[in-house]
Chains A and B, each alone.
Chain A
Amino acid sequence: MSEHGLPADVSRRQLLIRSAAIAAMAGPGSALAAGCAAGSGSAPKSTASSGGSSTGTASSDPANPFGVKASAPLDVYIFKGGYGDQYAKAFEDMYKKRFPGSNVSHKGAQDVTGDLQPRFNAGSPPDVIDDSGAKQLKLDVLNRGGQLTNLDQLLDAPSVDDPGKKVRDTLLPGTVEIGLLGSSMYFLSYAFTVWGLWYSSTLFQKNGWQIPKTWEEFMTLCAAIKGTGMAPFCHQGKYPYYMMVPLMDMVAKNGGPQVQAAIDNLEPNAWKSDAVKNSVEALYMLVDKGYMLPGTEGLTHIQSQTQWNQGKAAIIPCGSWLENEQLDATPADFGMAVFAMPSLTGDKMPRTAIRAGAGEPFIVPAKAKNQAGGLEFLRIMCSKAAGASFAQKANSLSVVKDAITPEIAAGLKPGTKSSNDLYNAANGQIITWYYLNWYSQMKDDLENAMSQLMADKIKPDEFIARAQKAADTCAADSSIQKSKRPAT
């Protein structure tokens, strides 16, 4: 090697300046730049043409209500998450059977935003999208951009199973409501999830613990559990939205429709109601009385759920995907089961009322080339055959009514069976919150406040003040499209 590192006339300094400039360019902004490749906006034209092709040729033929051209290709994009994407391939086969001439393309992936944001901006999105997962394209944002097809026409179309019935009447209650943006349905949430507090029935039986009906009973139970040296409660603290569910269940039960409407409609002082105060103070008792698993406020969902499976804590809040998620970590004799949030004094909804509802939203983009085909695909999904197929291939209930025959029900796992029982016991008393899909930023602000409440960094009063401020900020932001909660 030369004693003289660089030829004298090439300045290392110049090289440095150049490389520094490149490095600056390749800084954090580059991720943004990649996502910014928006089209030049020939949007209105393409909307008009695709809108025309679907509604213009719409026929009254009950077998093809949207007037699908049999030869038109169908482009399907599926979020390949907990449910996989095998179920979607079965749906595609059903579609191909009805329209043998069509070429159905399938893509199953996780990075929904990364894959589809450029396509939306360029005006060439797929025809059907399962818009779920961590990289979900936010539905309120898509709708604000005029990118979603109004699905009311799907709801009013005849059912595949019985042309005398509308699709609307073949779906579980709450499905339409959860899909509303404004006064119309824009997304079909297909997987049916039940929320509650999960426990090991084996553990409860062994100790003679009873399912608590009221909050006082729950506190007594927690004291008993703590007495055995086990932590009564744990939660997925790294993601505070898990703890928002028990809280908002209690608020809904204690406050009833009026309080729910006030919160969803961003009314002034909605969070100052007694129902909110009672619920936040009750929930905070878990922290205040030391009933939480130490450190749970910093754990991921997998870490906390595994601790719960290992018997470090007795109860955890979650949705009914929990069983599938923890399949490998759950001991064979665990007896996974779920109960509803205990009642507070003066509740306006019965104890058995639960948060249940449709998740895994499917959409048809407004600028889809085969919009009619996309709608038809969703109509096929709403058939009993598709619902049964989903239960078999994705191990989850769907929003299709009466799709589960006794044979299928017989093969359910304990947790799924328990959530099924929980849903039946609720007898139609389902808790729904709309702000979750309507106001992303407010939801995020609430979760931040919840993380601090659970970490004992703030008290209930401050939580309520922060929640109210988040709602007021959202209400005052003119760039956010507002919706009204449907009257019940």
Chain B
Amino acid sequence: MRLRKKTRERLFIASFLAGPLAVYIVFVIWPYIETFGYSLTEWTGVAPPSKVVGLKNYTALMHDSVFLKALWHNVEILVFFPTVTIILAMFFAFMLNVGGRRGGVGGVRGVPGSAVYRVVFFFPQVLSVAILIILFQAAFETNDAGLFNGIAIKLRLTDADHPWEFLNSPAFVVWCIMFILVWQWVGFYLVLFSAAMQQIPKDYYEAALLDGAGRIQTYFKVTMPLLWDSVQTAWVYLAVAAMDAFALVANLTPGSNFGGGPDNHGEVLATYLMRNFQTFGKAGYACAMGVVIFFITLILSLAVLRLTRRERLEY
């Protein structure tokens, strides 16, 4: 029997995808299914699960005040970190590409020295997280040897006997982590938005200019709408990063096992999960957390894509 052309085409494509798909199923999909299975058991993590407990781990989660606190911190990060990062990155990208004085091609160019700024802003992305951690460990040090405290003390905002606590402060620890996250990611999205801005035809700007639009109007009426796809991508990725934040919290915040301090005030879901998994020997419970985080992240990603759906303009 002769297969239809369309079917043959699909089979041909499938034959290429089979290998990667198998790898994906074995190393990504299967562990997720396994994790869900383990989440229904009482499991120490070092021997096969001892018994099936049904949804007990999930009901326990709902009454675990540390888990709820960690979830709240992730929500805080989720709200502020992507918003601030995108706004800053957009602003900088605009200044580097369009924000300069009139002139250049189509009357559009960046501020003087924008080539240098572009490289400088990208620096944090080049550093590995390990270096970042050492850097901010020193910057946030809770005495006059720390960069920020040193400056604050020099400026007489505080004195050497009352250094700011930063990562050891229950009220500010999450904000310090967010500060680092923003610092780390602005450069990347600046480059992403810059690339997208350079795709916008210059004649649009020229037209806007001829119509008498100022810089701010150009930004809001021309640039932003045309960047929508990139912003959407940024939202999804930043939201996923906000649900994680593991490396920074585990290494920078106080506490012996994956940080999370002081006194759980810096806790995020990922660190609490790891502490239960590896330190407390409650691996089944930790798996239940993993499943919850997975669904939150998935729903979030889909929601962002739905909510930001717009008409696209081809150019």
- Point out residues on A near B: beta carbons under 8 Å: 3-5, 8, 12-13, 16-17, 19-21, 23-41, 43, 113, 117, 120-121, 134-135, 137-138, 140-142, 144-147, 237-241, 293-300, 303, 307, 440-441, 444, 447-449, 451-452, 455, 457, 479
B142 contacts chain A at the CB level, 8 A cutoff: yes
B297 contacts chain A at the CB level, 8 A cutoff: yes
B268-296 contacts to A (CB < 8 Å): 269-270, 273-275, 277-283, 286-287, 290-291, 293-294
Return the contact of A448 from the options B141, B163, B243, B264 (Cβ within 8 A). Answer: B264
Chain B residue at minimal CB-CB distance from A12: B229
Contacts of B314 in A (CB 8 A): 4, 8
Q: Is the CB of B168 within 8 A of A27?
A: no
Q: Is the CB of B236 within 8 A of A23?
A: yes
Q: Is the CB of B45 within 8 A of A27?
A: no
B166 contacts chain A at the CB level, 8 A cutoff: yes
Docked pose: A377 CA to B255 CA in angstroms:
35
Q: Is the interface of B mostly helix, strand, loop or mixed?
A: helix
Q: Is the CB of A441 within 8 A of B280?
A: yes
Contacts of B38 in A (CB 8 A): 36, 38
B143 contacts chain A at the CB level, 8 A cutoff: yes
Assuming the A-B contacts A28-B273, A121-B48, A142-B46, are A294 and B162 also in contact, with contact meaning beta carbons closer than 8 angstroms in the complex? yes
Q: Which of B47, B312, B315 has the most CB of A within 10 A?
A: B47
Docked pose: A4 CA to B199 CA in angstroms:
9
Q: Is the CB of A448 within 8 A of B167?
A: no
- Min CB distance B288 to A, Å, is 11
Q: Is the CB of B32 within 8 A of A29?
A: yes
Q: Which of A23, A27, A30, A142 has the most CB of B within 10 A?
A: A27
Docked pose: A20 CA to B300 CA in angstroms:
10
Q: Is the CB of B142 within 8 A of A299?
A: yes
Contacts of A8 in B (CB 8 A): 314
Assuming the A-B contacts A27-B293, A28-B293, A140-B281, are A36 and B47 also in contact, with contact meaning beta carbons closer than 8 angstroms in the complex? no
Q: Is the CB of B261 within 8 A of A448?
A: yes
Contacts of B286 in A (CB 8 A): 32
Return the contact of B163 from the options A4, A21, A41, A295 (Cβ within 8 A). Answer: A295
Contacts of B187 in A (CB 8 A): none
Q: Is the CB of B31 within 8 A of A33?
A: yes
Docked pose: A31 CA to B245 CA in angstroms:
12
Assuming the A-B contacts A43-B48, A145-B46, A298-B254, are A24 and B301 also in contact, with contact meaning beta carbons closer than 8 angstroms in the complex? yes
Q: Is the CB of B34 within 8 A of A36?
A: yes
- Min CB distance A463 to B, Å, is 11
B19-58 contacts to A (CB < 8 Å): 28, 31-32, 34-35, 38, 42, 44-49
Assuming the A-B contacts A16-B233, A36-B31, A455-B168, are A29 and B293 also in contact, with contact meaning beta carbons closer than 8 angstroms in the complex? yes
Contacts of B264 in A (CB 8 A): 448
Contacts of B312 in A (CB 8 A): 12-13
Q: Is the CB of A25 within 8 A of B32?
A: yes
Q: What string of 1s and 0s marks CB contacts (under 8 Å) between B219-254 and chain A?
A: 000000000010011001100100110100000001
Q: Which of A240, A298, A449 has the most CB of B within 10 A?
A: A298
Docked pose: A348 CA to B186 CA in angstroms:
60
Contacts of A19 in B (CB 8 A): 233, 236
Assuming the A-B contacts A16-B232, A120-B46, A144-B44, are A457 and B281 also in contact, with contact meaning beta carbons closer than 8 angstroms in the complex? no
Q: Is the CB of B236 within 8 A of A16?
A: yes
Contacts of A39 in B (CB 8 A): 48
Assuming the A-B contacts A24-B297, A29-B293, A294-B160, are A3 and B47 also in contact, with contact meaning beta carbons closer than 8 angstroms in the complex? no
A–B complex contacts, Cβ < 8 Å, 7 sampled: A24-B300, A27-B297, A28-B244, A36-B38, A36-B283, A298-B168, A451-B255
Q: Is the CB of B32 within 8 A of A33?
A: yes
Q: Nearest 5 pairs between A and B by C-beta?
A: A145-B47, A141-B281, A298-B142, A298-B168, A41-B48
Chain B residue at minimal CB-CB distance from A6: B314
Contacts of A297 in B (CB 8 A): 142, 165, 168
Chain B residue at minimal CB-CB distance from A25: B28
Assuming the A-B contacts A145-B44, A294-B161, A455-B262, are A239 and B35 also in contact, with contact meaning beta carbons closer than 8 angstroms in the complex? no
- Min CB distance A21 to B, Å, is 7
B83 contacts chain A at the CB level, 8 A cutoff: no
B106 contacts chain A at the CB level, 8 A cutoff: no
B149 contacts chain A at the CB level, 8 A cutoff: yes
B201 contacts chain A at the CB level, 8 A cutoff: yes
Docked pose: A478 CA to B210 CA in angstroms:
76
Q: Is the CB of A32 within 8 A of B279?
A: no
B129 contacts chain A at the CB level, 8 A cutoff: no
- Min CB distance B251 to A, Å, is 10
- Min CB distance B196 to A, Å, is 9
B112 contacts chain A at the CB level, 8 A cutoff: no
B305 contacts chain A at the CB level, 8 A cutoff: yes
Q: Is the CB of B273 within 8 A of A138?
A: no
Return the contact of B298 from the options A4, A24, A34, A240 (Cβ within 8 A). Answer: A24
Q: What string of 1s and 0s marks CB contacts (under 8 Å) between B131-150 and chain A?
A: 00000010001110100010
B256 contacts chain A at the CB level, 8 A cutoff: yes
Contacts of A31 in B (CB 8 A): 246, 270, 274
Q: Is the CB of B261 within 8 A of A298?
A: no
Return the contact of B42 from the options A35, A36, A240, A479 (Cβ within 8 A). Answer: A479
Q: Is the CB of B142 within 8 A of A141?
A: no
- Min CB distance A55 to B, Å, is 21
Q: Is the CB of B35 within 8 A of A29?
A: yes
Docked pose: A296 CA to B142 CA in angstroms:
7
Q: Is the CB of B280 within 8 A of A295?
A: no
Q: Is the CB of A451 within 8 A of B46?
A: no
Q: Is the CB of B254 within 8 A of A24?
A: no
Return the contact of A27 from the options B240, B275, B315 (Cβ within 8 A). Answer: B240
Q: Is the CB of A479 within 8 A of B282?
A: yes
Contacts of B294 in A (CB 8 A): 24-25, 27, 29
Docked pose: A314 CA to B208 CA in angstroms:
69
Docked pose: A365 CA to B36 CA in angstroms:
28
Chain B residue at minimal CB-CB distance from A439: B280
Q: What string of 1s and 0s marks CB contacts (under 8 Å) between B148-163 and chain A?
A: 0100000000001111
Docked pose: A438 CA to B240 CA in angstroms:
37
Chain B residue at minimal CB-CB distance from A15: B233
Assuming the A-B contacts A33-B290, A37-B31, A451-B263, are A137 and B46 also in contact, with contact meaning beta carbons closer than 8 angstroms in the complex? yes
Return the contact of A34 from the options B31, B161, B166 (Cβ within 8 A). Answer: B31
Contacts of A36 in B (CB 8 A): 31, 34-35, 38, 283, 287
